[in-house]
A and B are shown apart, each in its own frame.
Chain A
Amino acid sequence: MQTHVKKSNFLILALTLPCQIILAQSAPTPAPAPSAPPTSAPTTGSPTEIDSSTKTILDTIMNTKPAEGSAGKAGSEVASALADKIKAVDVLKTPGLDDPEVRARFQTYLSLKEVADLRIKEYFSKMAQVSDLLQAGHTFDAWKILYLMGEYKDLDAGISRELANRVESIWNSDQTKNRLEISNSTLQNNIETYNHNADMIAEDIRDEANVQAQKGKANTGGGGNNSSGVTAQNATNSPLASPNADPAAAEAAVMPTMASSLQGKMELTSEYLKLLEAHAKIKLNQMQENKMSDQDRLNFADYIKTLYNSHRYYHVIIAADFYRNLFNEGDYPADLADQAAASLGTNARTLAQSATQASAALGAAGGTGPLAALNQVGNNLAGDHAGKQQGGQPITLADEVTASLEINNRVSQAIEVFRYKADKGEIAAAAEQLQQAFLGNEYHPALQGLPRNEKEKVGDFLGKLEVLKNQLEVRDFEQIEGQITDIKKIAVDFDATKPMAMVNGIKLESRLRLGKARLLAQGGHLNESMQEFQTAAEEWPGNPDLQTSAAGFFSTEDLQNQSTAEFDRLVKDQNYRAIFDKQLAFAPAVKGDTNREQQLKDALTKVQKAEMASEKANLMVMNGDVDGAWETIEIAAKDWPDDMKLNKLLANLSGRSADFVSALNKARDAEAKKELGYSLTWYVNAQGYYPASIIANDGIDRLKKQILSPDSAGTSEGTN
């Protein structure tokens, strides 16, 4: 019985609560909740259909709330976190294909018809021929074959022709250098002539000097001293030196010898100057020649780098061979690479970045197989570069060649593995190998020769994998199982464990959030409930429980209509106890309707009084006051004569207080017949049985007044 008293208190609370709480109280545990049956909702049966009121609320959550940074924002964050989770699933990764350009090229490659095997062999036999000729030193013959290779446009893409042009430009530069060398040779010949002439002139001068000395000795008449030229010269000049000599005669004597001597010396000087000039020209020509040679080497090395960066690894190798032949170097010169990288630091950096990019594109570090090996090649290059940049040592041409050889080898291995896996139906692994090979060297002949039907399997697999990723990202979990089945038909080795585990995990989380939302709603925390509901919907938009929950949480209108209809029916039937039992549902439903509110209050008061009377009567019986118990129930039943419970209880008590009840009944009957004296006597007798009787005392008061003051209920006195 105490339960009912508590319910009454709860009712008062419910009537004062705001309308929102109506929802929360619609399904209390103790009372049978009048939750709307699903069939009564105006639905079409669609699993995703939500009624209009729910739609409005959800629209508020999804569109308005996110902007306000509450529930919707939380949902968006959840979605973002889930997207990250999905991306982290290994089996869904497509290494290197994140770059849209690479992806587009790969997809194009998958759809291209294969190049005929014979044609590939022809092309690469020519390439081998070029290498052989270069190794034998037949550069020109090798150069001619480059033009033939250029004819294979599907394999070569014009790279060989461009390489041939580069080689030709080096040769054109060599012709200029040859002209300089010829010029130097001429100059060298001239130098020899000048030397000879100078020697001859010097000899003539010496001879002339001797003749003059002989003549002087003869003119002076003896002496016999011809020991030196100086003496002879002094003798020759003696007329000028003598203080007594006639100046005119002395000049006439000396002049012929002096003129002859000066002429010889000037010629010698002229030859000497020509000699110096020729030496200077040779030196200048040599400097120009060296400068041209350095520039050629730089340009050619730069071109090789370009080939490397564009993954034309086979052409890197033959271009490097041309380099050695053109510049007559047995190995790739480190000094040249140093100069090139030093002057073109950006290129060197780009090279390293390219190597790193290639390795990154080929997959995650730490893997195994060809991909890891390719990574290692790239990382080594990048690592060397980084270290050398800091230490001033750039990447050498030899590094590029080595890397090219290595990458080509790894790509060959990846293709071999691809074929093996594809034959076994393990398309997932085969696809990975093919992607790695493509990212290593998409121009590799083995790739170009792969039959289109084999590549199409990979394309089909990757396409379905992409759809699966999209389905996961939008949490379209209903389609995922079918998609995985389709993928497994193509790729028997596709491991669906992780995607399915993730799907099941998200589904479970969504269900738990819905449960939490329900609990929060029942607890009156409607905002938090909405947040949880929205997050659950974000996690799993297709969750079939969403509609049921939404109807339960938010379809207030239907619930209200149902409740009021039932309430009206119960009022009409005077089934106040049923109203009392469902008071928590009816209270919010009738809120705002004055008439129904009053009816509800009356009903609840009626039942409340009856219940209180019952409890009081029970207590009285326990205390032995049976007459009092009967009277309590009798008074309550007067207010609600049709209540089965009261009537049953009254009947039970009547038998146990028969004298009192009989006296009261006789008094009432007599009173009803206006037999006032007789009635009063019986009321007095009834009071004798139960002195505290309200009915008896009231009857006595009422009747004595009527007897003593029939016209008015005037004052009366007396003892009782």
Chain B
Amino acid sequence: MDKYLADYRPMSGVKFKANLKVSADLGWKPEKGHLMVFTVENDSRALVVLIPPKLSGIFFTKGQTYQVSLEVGEGGLVYADTCEKE
């Protein structure tokens, strides 16, 4: 989180896993997926993640924590590849 917020560019294309807690749902489009806001444990700062349509079966509830595989995409947009409820 720190590295990303400091500068996302070195992390572009990098895949990593993180435990994220649902903070807010910014919106949804069937062809784009869910745009969610997560926080990491012990850090109040937020991270915006795009949940692709393939993961549309997951019902995110605010406050729940998920283990998510992430990839930093173009323009610093973070995509979720897999997502499992803890």
Residue A670 is within 8 A (CB to CB) of chain B in the complex: yes
Inter-chain contact A718/B35, CB cutoff 8 Å: yes
Q: Give the B-binding residues of A (Cβ under 8 A).
A: 670, 674-682, 684-685, 688, 700, 704-705, 707-709, 716-720
Could you tell me the distance in whole angstroms from the C-beta of A705 to the nearest C-beta in chain B? 8
Residue B18 is within 8 A (CB to CB) of chain A in the complex: no
What bracket does the count of chain B residues touching chain A fall in? Answer: 20 to 34
Choose from A676, A688, A718 the contact partner of B26 (Cβ within 8 Å): A718
Inter-chain contact B24/A719, CB cutoff 8 Å: yes
Contacts of B40 in A (CB 8 A): none
Inter-chain contact B24/A688, CB cutoff 8 Å: no
Choose from A675, A708, A720 the contact partner of B24 (Cβ within 8 Å): A720
Contacts of B75 in A (CB 8 A): 670, 674-679
Also in contact, A685 and B46, with CB within 8 A (given A675-B75, A677-B77): yes
Roughly how many angstroms separate A682 CA and B77 CA in the complex, as a whole number?
11
Choose from A675, A678, A707 the contact partner of B32 (Cβ within 8 Å): A707
Inter-chain contact A717/B78, CB cutoff 8 Å: no
Residue B3 is within 8 A (CB to CB) of chain A in the complex: no
Inter-chain contact B73/A717, CB cutoff 8 Å: no
Also in contact, A677 and B27, with CB within 8 A (given A708-B35, A718-B35): no
Q: What are 17 A-B pairs with beta-carbon distances under 8 A?
A: A674-B75, A676-B75, A676-B77, A677-B50, A677-B76, A677-B77, A677-B78, A684-B46, A684-B48, A685-B46, A707-B35, A707-B50, A709-B32, A717-B27, A718-B24, A718-B27, A719-B26
Contacts of A682 in B (CB 8 A): 5
Contacts of A717 in B (CB 8 A): 27-28
Inter-chain contact B25/A718, CB cutoff 8 Å: yes
Also in contact, A680 and B27, with CB within 8 A (given A674-B75, A675-B8, A707-B35): no
Also in contact, A716 and B47, with CB within 8 A (given A677-B75, A704-B35): no
| B44-84 interface (Cβ within 8 A of A) | 44-48, 50, 62, 73-78
| B4-18 interface (Cβ within 8 A of A) | 4-5, 8
Contacts of B28 in A (CB 8 A): 708, 716-718
Could you tell me the distance in whole angstroms from the C-beta of A697 to the nearest C-beta in chain B? 11
Contacts of B8 in A (CB 8 A): 675, 677-678
Residue from the set B37, B44, B73, B74 with the largest chain A CB neighbour count within 10 Å: B37
Roughly how many angstroms separate A685 CA and B35 CA in the complex, as a whole number?
15
- Known pairs A681-B47, A716-B26 / 10 extra A-B pairs, C-beta < 8 Å: A677-B78, A680-B77, A684-B37, A700-B26, A704-B35, A707-B35, A716-B29, A718-B26, A719-B24, A719-B62
Roughly how many angstroms separate A59 CA and B74 CA in the complex, as a whole number?
82
Inter-chain contact B46/A681, CB cutoff 8 Å: yes
Also in contact, A677 and B29, with CB within 8 A (given A704-B35, A718-B24): no
Which chain A residue has the least Cβ–Cβ distance from B1?
A681
Contacts of A708 in B (CB 8 A): 27-29, 32, 35
Contacts of A680 in B (CB 8 A): 26, 35, 48, 77
Could you tell me the distance in whole angstroms from the C-beta of A536 to the nearest C-beta in chain B? 77
Could you tell me the distance in whole angstroms from the C-beta of A182 to the nearest C-beta in chain B? 165
Could you tell me the distance in whole angstroms from the C-beta of A79 to the nearest C-beta in chain B? 87
Also in contact, A688 and B35, with CB within 8 A (given A670-B76, A675-B8, A707-B77): no
Contacts of A704 in B (CB 8 A): 26-27, 35
Closest 5 CB pairs of A and B: A677-B77, A678-B76, A718-B27, A716-B27, A677-B76
Could you tell me the distance in whole angstroms from the C-beta of B55 to the nearest C-beta in chain A? 15
Also in contact, A681 and B48, with CB within 8 A (given A674-B75, A704-B35, A719-B24): yes
Roughly how many angstroms separate A474 CA and B62 CA in the complex, as a whole number?
98
Q: Give the A-binding residues of B (Cβ under 8 A).
A: 4-5, 8, 24-29, 32, 35, 37, 44-48, 50, 62, 73-78
Roughly how many angstroms separate A682 CA and B78 CA in the complex, as a whole number?
13
Could you tell me the distance in whole angstroms from the C-beta of A196 to the nearest C-beta in chain B? 181
Contacts of A681 in B (CB 8 A): 4-5, 46-48, 76, 78
Roughly how many angstroms separate A720 CA and B73 CA in the complex, as a whole number?
24
Which chain B residue has the least Cβ–Cβ distance from A671?
B75
Roughly how many angstroms separate A636 CA and B24 CA in the complex, as a whole number?
30
Could you tell me the distance in whole angstroms from the C-beta of A76 to the nearest C-beta in chain B? 86
Roughly how many angstroms separate A707 CA and B29 CA in the complex, as a whole number?
10
Roughly how many angstroms separate A719 CA and B26 CA in the complex, as a whole number?
6
Contacts of B29 in A (CB 8 A): 708-709, 716
Which chain A residue has the least Cβ–Cβ distance from B37?
A684
Roughly how many angstroms separate A459 CA and B77 CA in the complex, as a whole number?
116
Which chain B residue has the least Cβ–Cβ distance from A720?
B24
Which chain B residue has the least Cβ–Cβ distance from A708?
B29
Roughly how many angstroms separate A685 CA and B40 CA in the complex, as a whole number?
13
Could you tell me the distance in whole angstroms from the C-beta of A642 to the nearest C-beta in chain B? 32
Could you tell me the distance in whole angstroms from the C-beta of A664 to the nearest C-beta in chain B? 14
Roughly how many angstroms separate A58 CA and B54 CA in the complex, as a whole number?
91
Roughly how many angstroms separate A680 CA and B24 CA in the complex, as a whole number?
13
Residue from the set A677, A709, A719 with the largest chain B CB neighbour count within 10 Å: A677
Which chain A residue has the least Cβ–Cβ distance from B24?
A719
Residue from the set B28, B48, B73, B77 with the largest chain A CB neighbour count within 10 Å: B48
Could you tell me the distance in whole angstroms from the C-beta of B18 to the nearest C-beta in chain A? 14
Contacts of A718 in B (CB 8 A): 24-28, 35
Contacts of B35 in A (CB 8 A): 680, 704, 707-708, 718
Roughly how many angstroms separate A439 CA and B33 CA in the complex, as a whole number?
128
Inter-chain contact B26/A720, CB cutoff 8 Å: yes
Choose from B44, B50, B73, B74 the contact partner of A688 (Cβ within 8 Å): B44
Roughly how many angstroms separate A682 CA and B45 CA in the complex, as a whole number?
9
Which chain A residue has the least Cβ–Cβ distance from B33?
A708
Roughly how many angstroms separate A682 CA and B37 CA in the complex, as a whole number?
11
Roughly how many angstroms separate A677 CA and B74 CA in the complex, as a whole number?
8
Contacts of A700 in B (CB 8 A): 26
Contacts of B73 in A (CB 8 A): 677
Roughly how many angstroms separate A709 CA and B33 CA in the complex, as a whole number?
11
Roughly how many angstroms separate A680 CA and B48 CA in the complex, as a whole number?
7
Could you tell me the distance in whole angstroms from the C-beta of B76 to the nearest C-beta in chain A? 3
Could you tell me the distance in whole angstroms from the C-beta of A200 to the nearest C-beta in chain B? 186
Roughly how many angstroms separate A148 CA and B45 CA in the complex, as a whole number?
145
Could you tell me the distance in whole angstroms from the C-beta of B79 to the nearest C-beta in chain A? 9
Contacts of B44 in A (CB 8 A): 688
Roughly how many angstroms separate A682 CA and B76 CA in the complex, as a whole number?
11
Roughly how many angstroms separate A424 CA and B27 CA in the complex, as a whole number?
119
Could you tell me the distance in whole angstroms from the C-beta of B35 to the nearest C-beta in chain A? 5
Roughly how many angstroms separate A101 CA and B25 CA in the complex, as a whole number?
117
Roughly how many angstroms separate A681 CA and B32 CA in the complex, as a whole number?
17
Roughly how many angstroms separate A716 CA and B37 CA in the complex, as a whole number?
15
Roughly how many angstroms separate A707 CA and B37 CA in the complex, as a whole number?
14
Could you tell me the distance in whole angstroms from the C-beta of A8 to the nearest C-beta in chain B? 41
Roughly how many angstroms separate A705 CA and B26 CA in the complex, as a whole number?
10
Roughly how many angstroms separate A679 CA and B8 CA in the complex, as a whole number?
11
Roughly how many angstroms separate A685 CA and B32 CA in the complex, as a whole number?
23
Which chain B residue has the least Cβ–Cβ distance from A706?
B75
Residue from the set A685, A708, A719 with the largest chain B CB neighbour count within 10 Å: A708
Inter-chain contact B45/A688, CB cutoff 8 Å: yes
Roughly how many angstroms separate A670 CA and B8 CA in the complex, as a whole number?
11
Choose from B46, B48, B62 the contact partner of A677 (Cβ within 8 Å): B48
